[in-house]
Structure 1
Amino acid sequence: MNKVQQAVSIFLCLLGLPGCETRAEYDAEGLFKYVSPSVVTIIAFDEKGQQEGQGSGVAIDKDRIVTNCHVVRETHSLKVTAGDHDYAATWTQADPTRDICLLSVEGLTPMPLPEFRLLDDLKIGETVYAVGNPLGFGLSVNSGLISSISPYRDEQVILASVPLSPGSSGGGLFDSRGRLLGITTAILSAGQNLNIVLPANWVTELNKRGVAAPAVAEFPGPEPHWMEEAQALQAAAKLSEFEKHVRNWRAAQPDSSMAAAYLGVATITQNSAESEAALRDAVRLDDRNEFAWFVLAKLLYSQGHKNEAKQILQKAEQIAPTQGNLYTTKAEWLLEDGKLKEAYSAVQQAIRLEPGVSDHWRILGMVTDRLNQADESAKAFRTALRLNPLDDKIKQALSNVLARNGNPDAAHLAIGKNTDNNPSSAGTLVSMGFTESNRKHYADAEKAFRKAIEIAPETTNAWTGLGGVLQSTNRLKEAEQAYDKAYTLRPDNPKIVAEILANRGNVKSKLGDKQGALQDIQAAVRLDPSSGNVWRSLGILKQENRDYKGVVEAFSKVVNSEVADGADWASLGEALEMLGEKKQALETLEKAEKLAPNNALVLQRLTGYYGRNGDLQKALAYIERALKIDPSTAVNWSSKGYALLKLGRLPEAVSALETATNLDPQLPNAWINLGEAHMRSNNLGKAIPSLEKAITLAPAALDARLYLAQSYLNSRQAEKARTHANVALKAQPELPQALAIVTLAYLMDNNRDAALTNYHKIKARSPQLAQSVKAMAVSQGVSGAQALPD
């Protein structure tokens, strides 16, 4: 809304007439409640009915949704989820050069329909909210600011500092009144600090610019979740219902490789010929279906066709090298052939891939038992039993191992131990959660941890694991609450408690509670002073507080631990330099580079060292290497700009520093360096706003104050120059540069007495600087300059 429109709206409000804009402003929670009924989840399917992607969309009218074209492109069918309802969707119109597409969704009646705000009405720094479905966790809201309106592919787009994740594409960016500003589309930086939003103008222009979308198959409406229901029936041992369901699936989707594979499973015991035919049809339909190859291999092996079975198992392994059950089956067959060492290697691979699967540990127990490694065999069976406490076969196997090795009492306890007090599946779910978390499958990990907590709420590991997932997905307040719960359930093991406290401290630090973070992490150090991870957490916190002695103490512990890496050595080196230990610092940084030559943080630390010690060419070479590794980090661009600035390459410096401020508008050093570069280029019109922005972000930065005072002085704004110089003098009363600016500013205002008072202060500290101040005043023709004493 422009100023004229605003005035009209106010006038109408005063008269009580229609057209008065009275919509309330919302906070994040209220905004989400207001607009979320108009934001949907879009799920894309391939020609086999398998989900292949997910995004978000915004309902702009009855039956119409706008989203990004890349969400729906090259899909076979689409489904829209709005609230608790699913709808078939058809892609009807596209503006491919702008990545804006329109879907038709019969039966969708969103409320309310969003009002648009166009690009010309937006303001830099305005608070905005992104609503979408990031990472598949469900609709959520994130807040940020409009960072800039910038060119992208020759058109103006919105750059916003709203955190986005995969799945956010196609969602809406709203203002505090719930008006649609644009469609979220792309993540620019690794830290998710700057993202592209396609303006609402493009949505309004879709009818004029759009073309017909390629035809897509109509989604067949609500259809059984074939695979999920098949797996549930199989797990419940409802074999006749399982077979009937699979046959219906096969009839409904005759070209589905998974339907054929499950028919092979359903008939494998009573009709091996039909099972084999179905499995061979499954791999014909999809040569990459490792599940079908795996089941076919097991069927052929059971029929005595062992060589062919082994070849087929090897093919499945090539397709899916991370599937642990393939290696376990291979280990069983090698065990049967008496190839014990090869079997041991195979099952170890399965455990490395999936440490939370009890069957892998059971096979390891069998293999090590045959290798006469009784202790390792018993340990493996105990692990398997801990993951699956109700498996009587594992109990019996453990009992046999213990009994054969002279421990009958333990054998008796193993087979007779009552495990009913610990729900059988909670431990397995926790292990699954950690496995999925290590793979960065955070949605699956969260489901496993939450299910474990539902079954056994007092399981410490489940709460700890959940906290880690929430922390990794930037839901920090929820993560803190999960760690709080884990801490209240803390076991007697001090190492586990220390890990919980360190994790909670890291979260508190990110939430801004530095004191609480320090208390937690120091307590963790006291509990487990041998943990390198705990010391690292303390070192990072000390680094943020510029306590370099504390940094050296902490990282000296880290680099002597098993977890040490090149980045730890680099952090230690930087802290040593800050304490004046330059020789030791350089040796430490050089060791860091040897350990991790392509680590961006290591290269940043080396850049800083050489920059602060005058070797700007070397500093520039290191930061160029860092930018090749990570070109989206504002700090790297700021460091490059600083080096170019000090080398006198001002146009290049300005370009690099403008990139830094675009990537992270909240980085004070980038604005300070940019302001200095503009000042030295005599571009005061750009220097002054850059430096004003810098002191807004960092009011205590003396260099920013002095550069700003100098810029005002150079533009003959004496009073403003004097104001900022006096702020610097409050911090350092005898600062010569500030006294010089004040002296010249008073001369410009013809206040010779005040100028002379400050000039004498300069002369008392530095006669040479006093001469330079006088010479500068004389050269610029400042009135009264000649009256200053030599």
Structure 2
Amino acid sequence: MYYEYDHGFQLRIPPFDAECAFCISAKPLTLTAVIKHLLRALVLLLLVFASQAFPGPLYAKSASEIFAQASKSVVVVYNYDNKGIRQQLGSGVVMPDGQVATNFHVVNRATKITVLFNGKEFAAKANHSNPERDICLLDVTGLNAPCVVVGHASQLKVGEKVYAIGAPDGFEKTLSDGIVSGFRAVDGGRYIQTTTPISPGSSGGGLFDEEGRLVGLPTFYMASGQSLNFAVPVEWVLETSEHQVAGAENTRQCSEWLAKTVAYEKNRDWAGMVRQCNLWVKAQPKNCDAWYCSGIAYNKIGDARSAISALQTAVQLKPNYSSAWNDLGFAYVVAGMRLEAIEAYKKAILTNPNNASAWHNIGILYLKKGDLDMAVESFQQAVQIKPDYLSAWVNLGIALKTKGTPKEAIQAFTKAISINSNNSVIWNNLGLAYRDAGDINQSIDAFRHALQINPNYDIARNNLAETYRLTGRMGESINTCIEATKANPNNAAAWQNLGDAYSKSNQKDKALEAYKEALRCDPNNVQALLSLGKHYATENNRQVAMDVYRRLKNIDNSAAKNYLQNYLL
């Protein structure tokens, strides 16, 4: 089997430095300013429409081509204090409406802001800002720089190549590359996780796709992490408008708690994460994210009851918190509360129909329950939402195979292998599906492939031996079983299969010894006891056959009853 519930790793990444405070305030707009903003909005709308209608070239540009195109729109942003001392620097990108987009934390607490372009500094001022998303748009006097081509972060997929252009450590217009390594879901969208190196000074620069289109702003990275870098999606930049800073101090404090919590999560220090979250919920008892993170931490240390309590609080504070409902479902599963788990997963799906993890997890429960139609439907929903969802494809294959549709199961397992071809468990499941479909050669090839990946995979070797035996290839079955018992002398299933192969080859003495070895490994092995009892009954050794019956009765009364009727009465 496979299963693997999906839970826990959906924390909101703090989009700005923990030391930041918020001081840029919104000002009343004049009529001229209103007209100016409306014109900017119209320009942005037309550009977004054009980018959707005419998505651009269908080929990947080289790194040098992307740099030549995109770097013309990247600037350096300087933050000066009230004494004229530069206290921070970052990067920025010239947007289609002429404003420069950067991270809020780059210009935070600035008395003066300037933009450096082609060796010349230009005066700038903060216009629109969204501290919670760590975005600020600057008006720059006299700047005449080319604007970027806007792309779509929502269309990015894990594994795609991306490029960052910024000013890491003050080096103007520096290019680095990497791939999209994942996404972090939050309310209203998701952060882009990338292996593209990000350093101090890169913040607010541009993250570009393979066609040189802006897809995000690098904004946050873990200094102690390995390629753990994050960018805000370009869609958030386009949505940014005047942001009132009422409650900004509370938002800043929340970001600090989140930053520390994410650090514990990254290091897989679950006990430390529990302690951190306990402090957080004490400091901010009405913060649903604090309770949600606490629930994740308790899930990780196996304290299901505490996880349930924390996650229940999270969804009480925020009833449409789909991720929290999903993790609450997992906590219920660990606690053995299957019905409650199903209801929690349903709530996760109801509040967010595109929560692929919740569809996957409820599918596992349906599969274990034996409701194969609902299981198949749930897994299909999961892979429709997230086409590269490996675990969902594997579990879909298991559900289809159990349902008695091996050809459809083969398609699901084949898709899973296209995502990860180095997983021996998937190859083993594919082998079973081929065997059920009657394609013995493909079945044998799949089991062999599983063993090439993991030579110590006892289950795959046992399945290979059984497949040989079922198709009458007794010599190959015996040799495979002998290999299995040599690799693992305590493999009861291998000894059992070897006994069956010897028995079918009419090598009764060797079969008897193999069954005894199986019982040595597992004294409660019902199949080995039945095989042993059948041998003694056939040899008219009634006393030993009755001893087998008594042992069976203590283990499996139904099997003992059938054995008595078929071989002793």
Q: TM-score, normalised by structure 1?
A: 0.39
Is the Cα–Cα contact under 8 Å of residues 450 and 457 in structure 2 kept in the other structure? no
Structure-2 separation of matches of 1:554 and 1:567? 13
Structure-1 separation of matches of 2:339 and 2:521? 28
Query: In the alignment, which of 489, 512, 528 is matched to residue 684 of structure 1?
Result: 512
Q: Alpha-carbon deviations, 1:156-182, whole Å to 9, x = none?
A: xxxxxxxxxxxxxxxxxxxxxxxxxxx
Q: Could you say if the C-alpha distance between residues 638 and 652 of structure 1 is closer, same or farther in structure 2, counting changes exceeding 3 Å?
A: closer
Superposed counterparts of 1:259-408, under 5 Å: 324-326=198-200, 328=202, 331=205, 348-351=217-220, 376=237, 379=240, 402=242
Query: In the alignment, which of 291, 297, 301 is matched to residue 463 of structure 1?
Result: 291
Is the Cα–Cα contact under 8 Å of residues 427 and 449 in structure 2 kept in the other structure? yes
Q: Which residue of 2 aligns with 1:765?
A: none
Q: Could you say if the C-alpha distance between residues 424 and 585 of structure 1 is closer, same or farther in structure 2, counting changes exceeding 3 Å?
A: closer
Q: Which residue of 2 aligns with 1:556?
A: 380
Q: Alpha-carbon deviations, 1:80-101, whole Å to 9, x = none?
A: xxxxxxxxxxxxxxxxxxxxxx
Letter of the aligned partner of 1:598 in structure 2?
N
Q: Could you say if the C-alpha distance between residues 582 and 734 of structure 1 is closer, same or farther in structure 2, counting changes exceeding 3 Å?
A: farther
Q: Could you say if the C-alpha distance between residues 492 and 454 of structure 1 is closer, same or farther in structure 2, counting changes exceeding 3 Å?
A: closer
Is the Cα–Cα contact under 8 Å of residues 501 and 523 in structure 1 kept in the other structure? yes
Structure-2 separation of matches of 1:443 and 1:568? 30
Task: For residue 673 of structure 1, report the CA deviation from its aligned partner.
Answer: 4.2
Structure-1 separation of matches of 2:257 and 2:326? 24
Structure-2 separation of matches of 1:731 and 1:603? 34
Task: For residue 537 of structure 1, report the CA deviation from its aligned partner.
Answer: 0.7
Q: Could you say if the C-alpha distance between residues 579 and 448 of structure 1 is closer, same or farther in structure 2, counting changes exceeding 3 Å?
A: same
Q: Does 1:505 align with 2:332?
A: no
Q: Which residue of 2 aligns with 1:720?
A: 547
Q: Could you say if the C-alpha distance between residues 520 and 632 of structure 1 is closer, same or farther in structure 2, counting changes exceeding 3 Å?
A: farther
Q: Alpha-carbon deviations, 1:318-342, whole Å to 9, x = none?
A: 9x976644352583xx99xxx9xx9
Q: Which residue of 1 aligns with 2:302?
A: 476
Is the Cα–Cα contact under 8 Å of residues 410 and 434 in structure 2 kept in the other structure? no
Q: Which residue of 1 aligns with 2:524?
A: 696
- Please list every run of 5 or more consecutive structure 1 residues that lacks an aligned counterpart in the other structure: 1-190, 192-231, 236-268, 273-300, 355-359, 380-400, 403-410, 743-753, 755-790
Letter of the aligned partner of 1:485 in structure 2?
A
Report which structure shows greater RCO (CA 8 Å, sep ≥6): 2
Q: Which residue of 2 aligns with 1:433?
A: 261
Structure-1 separation of matches of 2:371 and 2:312? 28
Give the match's secondary structure for 1:462.
helix
Task: For residue 719 of structure 1, report the CA deviation from its aligned partner.
Answer: 1.4
Q: Alpha-carbon deviations, 1:606-632, whole Å to 9, x = none?
A: 111123345444323213323444556
Letter of the aligned partner of 1:584 in structure 2?
E
Structure-2 separation of matches of 1:571 and 1:609? 13
Structure-2 separation of matches of 1:588 and 1:308? 44
Give the match's secondary structure for 1:349.
strand
Q: Alpha-carbon deviations, 1:600-659, whole Å to 9, x = none?
A: 443232111123345444323213323444556554454345445544322431432565
Query: In the alignment, which of 307, 310, 315 is matched to residue 485 of structure 1?
Result: 310
Higher helix proportion? 1
Letter of the aligned partner of 1:575 in structure 2?
A
Structure-2 separation of matches of 1:661 and 1:535? 41
Letter of the aligned partner of 2:545 in structure 1?
A
Structure-1 separation of matches of 2:271 and 2:212? 33
Task: For residue 536 of structure 1, report the CA deviation from its aligned partner.
Answer: 0.8
Q: Does 1:452 align with 2:276?
A: no
Q: Which residue of 1 aligns with 2:430?
A: 606
Structure-2 separation of matches of 1:564 and 1:343? 24
Q: Which residue of 1 aligns with 2:567?
A: 741
Structure-2 separation of matches of 1:438 and 1:573? 32
Structure-2 separation of matches of 1:658 and 1:506? 40
Task: For residue 687 of structure 1, report the CA deviation from its aligned partner.
Answer: 1.5
Structure-1 separation of matches of 2:564 and 2:317? 60
CA RMSD of aligned residues (A): 5.4
Query: In the alignment, which of 547, 552, 576 is matched to residue 400 of structure 2?
Result: 576
Structure-2 separation of matches of 1:683 and 1:732? 21
Is the Cα–Cα contact under 8 Å of residues 518 and 538 in structure 1 kept in the other structure? yes
Superposed counterparts of 1:201-220, under 5 Å: none
Task: For residue 675 of structure 1, report the CA deviation from its aligned partner.
Answer: 6.0
Q: Alpha-carbon deviations, 1:450-485, whole Å to 9, x = none?
A: 55334324432233224334544xx212x5413421
Q: Could you say if the C-alpha distance between residues 689 and 529 of structure 1 is closer, same or farther in structure 2, counting changes exceeding 3 Å?
A: farther
Is the Cα–Cα contact under 8 Å of residues 329 and 340 in structure 2 kept in the other structure? yes
Structure-2 separation of matches of 1:527 and 1:661? 52
Task: For residue 351 of structure 1, report the CA deviation from its aligned partner.
Answer: 4.5
Q: TM-score, normalised by structure 2?
A: 0.52
Superposed counterparts of 1:29-428, under 5 Å: 324-326=198-200, 328=202, 331=205, 348-351=217-220, 376=237, 379=240, 402=242, 414-415=244-245, 417-419=246-248, 422=250, 424-428=252-256
Percent of pairs with identical residues: 17
Is the Cα–Cα contact under 8 Å of residues 478 and 498 in structure 2 kept in the other structure? no
Structure-2 separation of matches of 1:350 and 1:308? 12
Q: Which residue of 2 aligns with 1:710?
A: 534
Structure-2 separation of matches of 1:565 and 1:316? 28
Q: Which residue of 2 aligns with 1:161?
A: none
Task: For residue 722 of structure 1, report the CA deviation from its aligned partner.
Answer: 4.5
Q: Could you say if the C-alpha distance between residues 628 and 445 of structure 1 is closer, same or farther in structure 2, counting changes exceeding 3 Å?
A: farther
Structure-1 separation of matches of 2:402 and 2:359? 20
Q: Alpha-carbon deviations, 1:659-689, whole Å to 9, x = none?
A: 5685xx8xx8667546646766625344235
Q: Could you say if the C-alpha distance between residues 457 and 654 of structure 1 is closer, same or farther in structure 2, counting changes exceeding 3 Å?
A: farther
Task: For residue 561 of structure 1, report the CA deviation from its aligned partner.
Answer: 1.8
Is the Cα–Cα contact under 8 Å of residues 168 and 198 in structure 2 kept in the other structure? no
Q: Does 1:544 align with 2:360?
A: no
Between 550-559 and 680-689, the greater mean CA deviation after superposition:
680-689
Is the Cα–Cα contact under 8 Å of residues 679 and 687 in structure 1 kept in the other structure? no
Letter of the aligned partner of 2:311 in structure 1?
A
Letter of the aligned partner of 2:253 in structure 1?
S
Letter of the aligned partner of 2:261 in structure 1?
G
Give the match's secondary structure for 2:218.
helix
Task: For residue 534 of structure 1, report the CA deviation from its aligned partner.
Answer: 0.9
Q: Could you say if the C-alpha distance between residues 593 and 721 of structure 1 is closer, same or farther in structure 2, counting changes exceeding 3 Å?
A: same
Q: Could you say if the C-alpha distance between residues 439 and 316 of structure 1 is closer, same or farther in structure 2, counting changes exceeding 3 Å?
A: farther
Structure-2 separation of matches of 1:713 and 1:685? 16
Structure-2 separation of matches of 1:435 and 1:308? 22
Structure-2 separation of matches of 1:729 and 1:442? 41
- Please list every run of 5 or more consecutive structure 2 residues that lacks an aligned counterpart in the other structure: 5-17, 21-82, 87-115, 122-166, 179-193, 224-228
Q: Could you say if the C-alpha distance between residues 740 and 464 of structure 1 is closer, same or farther in structure 2, counting changes exceeding 3 Å?
A: same
Is the Cα–Cα contact under 8 Å of residues 292 and 324 in structure 2 kept in the other structure? yes
Structure-1 separation of matches of 2:464 and 2:346? 36
Structure-2 separation of matches of 1:661 and 1:553? 42
Q: Alpha-carbon deviations, 1:130-152, whole Å to 9, x = none?
A: xxxxxxxxxxxxxxxxxxxxxxx
Is the Cα–Cα contact under 8 Å of residues 308 and 331 in structure 2 kept in the other structure? no
